Structure 1
Amino acid sequence: MHSPASSALPQPFPSSCSPLLWERSDGVVSYPDALSHMEERVAAIRCQAAPELVWLTAHAPLYTAGTSARPEDLFNPHGYPTYRAGRGGQWTYHGPGQRVGYVMLDLTKPHGEVPARDVRAFVKGLENWIIRTLARLEVKTFLREGRVGVWCHDPRTGQEAKIAALGVRLSRWVSWHGIALNISPDLQDFSGIVPCGLRDYGVTSLERFHPGISMAETDAALQASWPEIFGYAPAPEPTGLQPSKD
């Protein structure tokens, strides 16, 4: 794997209405590059040398292990790369057709309805952000006690299924990692793990509700819903770290 060329590094874009920046990467970005980008930005936010950031991206097929991941919950029949993510939670799949949202905020400050230094409220805010986003796309979702993530009734099976996962990490009160929303991934790839340690429930995608829905439509809904929870107005159209050539 090669590091991204300097010309591919994220370029911040101005926002006259918010101290928060948004970036978006087209295509897929390698997971090690994503971790490096987050680590650098989190350090800069902590030193007040860079604005807070929401980064929308995607990855090639891979599995990440949270701090509670159990080895027996990984099957990986395709031999996809696996990584220790350092975030909370268990095993998660990332791949094309899934929108990953990495959220880097200084939680020593309040953000909309999320008070300062309240990790539980921050996680609840991320959940509500997903719920509001999918409501804009006319998909009813909900939370379930004891089950991490955002859930819905799969339109094909009628069963409860997970449509979005989340896992966060804090570094001196600056958040990183974030959410993973299934838009049109290959759902068979989730069979390589026990997603989030939940054996009795399946996964689903936005495409099952709206065939042909685009990543751009979903990104627009994510941006429009953000200020309803976190209080910042949406930033201009984001651009970010572009795919590296391995």
Structure 2
Amino acid sequence: MARADLMPVQWVISAAPMPYPEALEAMRRRAAAIAAGDAGEAVWLLEHPPLYTAGTSAVPADLLTDRFPVYDAGRGGQYTYHGPGQRVAYLMLDLRERGRDIRCLVQGLEGWVIDTLAAYNVVAERSAGRIGVWVNRPDKGPGRADKIAAIGVRVSKWVTFHGISLNISPDLDHYAGIVPCGITDQGVTSFEDLGQLASMPEVDSTLRTTFESRFGPTVTTTDEALLRTL
């Protein structure tokens, strides 16, 4: 899904945890600016404080506790968790320059995560009928697979926002407050849970390399500069 003109995507990493409402508003404003031709594309990597978000298909009964704040995300999907040790990547991409194919976008995001995990010898795959990236867990029983990355996007005027969340070393017990993505017969996992010791900066570097192989070049931008353009 690379652009024909190979215009680089701004690559932004926020060091401090980002409050969810602030991130959501920033994404909306940036997506609107891209649609209007007033800003370029961006990928924004960050962490959130512990929280739950509800997608447009969320079922109220799947919220099992109010131990963390709950936000209406406006993206596709159901309930998910965000928190420290999880790398969230928000993608504000112009699909007018990338084929106008939302299904291809989702498959590209899944492939991006799968490529990233492969760099750490973690074999991951898609699951038929389910969005996200999964790792088979035969140690937990026949047919068991754990989700290591969630994907939820929204597209407005052919510009994307929201994106992926990849579990590096979050507290997996925090998922107990929801039915993650409405799935009751499988679990969640992380790099740490799988015995892979990788730091967030290491994974960020790999994410950038694998993103560029699928979506085209990037250019480093600070989060301060990104937010000033919103």
Please give the TM-score of this superposition, normalised by the length of structure 1. 0.84
Relative distance call for 1:156 and 1:234 in structure 2 (3 A) is farther
Taking the TM superposition and a 5 Å limit, the aligned residue runs for 1:1-246 are 18-76=7-65, 79-110=67-98, 116-154=99-137, 157=140, 159-230=144-215, 232-236=216-220, 238-240=221-223
Deviations 1:56-106 (A, max 9, x none): 0110110000000000000125x2000110000000100000000000001
- Deviation of the 1:160 alpha carbon: 1.0
- 2:176 partner letter: S
- 2:116 partner letter: T
Query: For residues 106 and 214 of structure 1, what CA distance do their matches in structure 2 show?
Result: 30
Please tell me whether the aligned partners of residues 148 and 196 of structure 1 are also in contact (alpha carbons under 8 angstroms).
no
Please tell me whether the aligned partners of residues 24 and 241 of structure 1 are also in contact (alpha carbons under 8 angstroms).
no
Query: For residues 175 and 184 of structure 2, what CA distance do their matches in structure 1 show?
Result: 11
Query: For residues 136 and 150 of structure 1, what CA distance do their matches in structure 2 show?
Result: 15
Please give the TM-score of this superposition, normalised by the length of structure 2. 0.89
Relative distance call for 1:80 and 1:127 in structure 2 (3 A) is same
Relative distance call for 1:157 and 1:241 in structure 2 (3 A) is farther
How many aligned positions are there? 218
Query: For residues 28 and 180 of structure 1, what CA distance do their matches in structure 2 show?
Result: 14
- 1:80 partner letter: F
- Deviation of the 1:209 alpha carbon: 3.1
Please tell me whether the aligned partners of residues 91 and 161 of structure 2 are also in contact (alpha carbons under 8 angstroms).
yes
Secondary structure in 1 matching 2:26: helix
Secondary structure in 1 matching 2:146: strand
Gaps in structure 1 of 5+ consecutive residues: 1-16, 111-115
- Deviation of the 1:239 alpha carbon: 3.2
- 1:235 partner letter: V
> Which portions of structure 1, spanning 4 or more consecutive aligned residues, are displaced by more than 6 angstroms?
none
Please tell me whether the aligned partners of residues 8 and 217 of structure 2 are also in contact (alpha carbons under 8 angstroms).
no
Q: Percent identity?
A: 51
- 2:184 partner letter: R
Secondary structure in 2 matching 1:45: helix
Bigger proportion of residues as helix: 2
Gaps in structure 2 of 5+ consecutive residues: 1-5, 226-230
- Deviation of the 1:157 alpha carbon: 3.6
- Deviation of the 1:18 alpha carbon: 4.0
Please tell me whether the aligned partners of residues 56 and 76 of structure 2 are also in contact (alpha carbons under 8 angstroms).
yes
- Deviation of the 1:228 alpha carbon: 1.9
- 2:56 partner letter: T
- Deviation of the 1:148 alpha carbon: 1.9
